Structure 1
């Protein structure tokens, strides 16, 4: 079932066309990767889907509902979750408290919060941490966690909003290779079991071709290829365009394009 429909998005900054004729879909339970060289328009497209940017033209539909001009907050409440390239957590708070804060926000309990929040949604927060393998660290401050574990806490925070669509901006940035595989394996499992559509940008080609069901390739703001990882890997236009290196998508394991 189609969850996200992006139709004919355009965006320019001054005389620079950052996105042109961008059209794609994401199905429930599907993981779609958006790749391309630096300056290809990935962040622009990603932020138009997330609500940080408003397109000059085109539409973004979630479950058939137009969210093109909805704020990020409204999109969150309609079922759009997000993680960031640099993990967004309160480092002085425990893992559970971070998730509790997200649950308090989701339940619109942040206004007039006079009573201590420590016990609010505690059980639900621990349950979400358990889903990402972080239950034993529930009472550990995020400042004391390894970065890969902080990224898993951030995933639990995103899941607090019961998202239909999860946006992940370079989810494995700053992580060791083994941590990258663990995080993306976990994300794929959750997406499949809960029917969550995942749209992610990524520079690590091992992550992209190892976890995406489909890959979208951007160059100068336009889609130049779309298909399964194998189809995109074999695409001659992609090989020529991606960093100008015909072997850029066939690197040995562990090597990541700059």
Structure 2
């Protein structure tokens, strides 16, 4: 089932073209990676899909419904979750309270200022934390967690809205190699089991080639290649402008390694 359709997105900032005729689709349960060097247009593309940026032209549809130019909160309400390069959590709250806050917002109870967050949706929050392997830390302050665990909490927060589509901006940034593999394996398992489409950017080629079903390569705002990991890895232009010999060897190695969740 086609979940997301992006057609002909264009965006300029002054004299700089950040995205030129960016088009792609994403199926439910599929992981699609967007890669490219710094300044390639990855963040701009994410911003246009997620509602942080309005495209100059082009369209974005979710399950056949146009969402082009809608504000990010309206897009979130339609079933689009998001994680960020730097984890967005309330460090003064406990792990469970962070997820409960997301559930409170999802259920539209934020106007009830007298409601005690600790009493709302705790069983649901614990279930979500169990899915990401963090239930045992439910009552710990987020400030005490290792960064890899904070990223798991952020994933649980994103799942609180029962998303159809998950946008992940460099999900493994700042993590150790083993943590990266574990988080991506966890995300892939959840996405395929629950039929959540995942669009993600990533500089770690091991994570990309080990877990993406398809890959888009952006350079200077344009898609220069697309296809399966094997097709992209073998693309001569991609090797020349982005992967190089080092990236190619890393990508090949990642296919031989098993990620441990």
TM-score norm. by structure 1 comes to 0.96
Q: 2:226 and 2:151 mapped to 1: Cα distance?
A: 28
Matched, 1:218 2:218: yes
> 1 CA distance for matches of 2:85 and 2:120?
29
* Counterpart position of 1:122: 122
Deviations 1:196-215 (A, max 9, x none): 00000000000000000000
Question: Which residue in 2 is equivalent to 1:233?
Answer: 233
**Alignment of 1:186 onto 2:186:** yes
1:54 corresponding residue in structure 2: 54
Structure 1 residue 249: Cα displacement: 2.7
- Partner residue, 1:242: 242
Find the residue that maps to 2:90 and give its secondary structure.
Answer: coil
* Structure 2 contact 30–198 (Cα < 8 Å) conserved: yes
Q: CA–CA distance in 1 between the matches of 2:39 and 2:100? A: 37
Q: Which protein has the bigger helix share?
A: 2
> CA offsets per residue over residues 124-168 of structure 1, 9 Å max, x none?
000000000000000010000110000000000000000000000
Q: CA deviation at 1:113?
A: 1.9
Partner of 2:257: none
SS in 2 for 1:215: strand
Distance in 2 between the 1:226 and 1:78 partners? 27
Matches of 1:249 and 1:85 in 2, distance apart?
A: 24
Q: 1:71, 1:159 → 2: CA distance? A: 20
Q: CA deviation at 1:246?
A: 4.6
SS of the equivalent of 1:87 reads coil
Would you say the 8 A contact 2:48–2:69 is kept in 1?
Answer: no
Alpha-carbon offset, residue 112 of structure 1: 2.8
- SS across alignment from 1:223: strand
Structure 2 gaps of 5+ residues are 255-261
Of residues 165-174 and 110-119 in structure 1, the stretch that sits farther from structure 2 once superposed is: 110-119
- Identify unmatched segments of 5+ residues in structure 1: none
Pairwise CA distance, 1:115: 2.7
User: Residues 239 and 247 of structure 1 are in contact (CA less than 8 Å); yes or no, is this contact kept in structure 2?
Assistant: no
SS of the residue corresponding to residue 58 of structure 2 reads strand
Contact 2:102-2:161 at 8 Å conserved across structures: yes
CA–CA distance in 1 between the matches of 2:229 and 2:246?
15
- With structure 2 as the length reference, what TM-score do the two structures score? 0.95
Show the counterpart of 1:251.
250
Distance 1:168 1:86 in 2: 11
